[in-house]
Amino acid sequence: MVSRATSVDDAIRLADDAWNELLEYADKGLSPDYDSMGDYLYDWYTSLPWDTKGVEVAIKYLLQKPDDDFNKIVRTLKLDMRAELQRELETKE
């Protein structure tokens, strides 16, 4: 589902929802619905706002999440999410 944020608060809410889902996969493992982490990320990004300003706000907000969250994702999903988000942000700026 493509999400549209109408305010900064909406962008942050959508970012938190997406982040919490990612952390849940970090706890439980990737859903069998996905063949790869890349497939999951393709869907995951659609949980963020789709407008340029909204996704920038969401990614900048997510990059401030605790190191423990990022470390858990690296450890369990073998994904450097901080680097992934930074790359995505660079494409938006």
Q: What is the pLDDT of residues 22-51, one digit of tens each?
A: 999 999 988 899 999 899 999 999 999 888
What is the model's pLDDT at position 7?
Answer: 87
Within a domain: 17: yes
Within a domain: 2: no
CA-to-CA distance for 81 and 54, rounded, in angstroms? 19
CA-to-CA distance for 3 and 73, rounded, in angstroms? 23
Within a domain: 3: no
**pLDDT tens-digit series, residues 47-76:** 998 888 899 999 999 999 999 999 999 999
Tally of domains within the chain? 1
- The answer to whether the CB of 3 falls within 8 A of the CB of 14 is yes
* Mean residue pLDDT across the chain: 90
What is the model's pLDDT at position 84?
Answer: 96
Q: Please give the residue range of the domain that contains residue 22.
A: 8-92
SS3 39: helix
Q: Which residue has the higher pLDDT, 8 or 16?
A: 16
Within a domain: 1: no
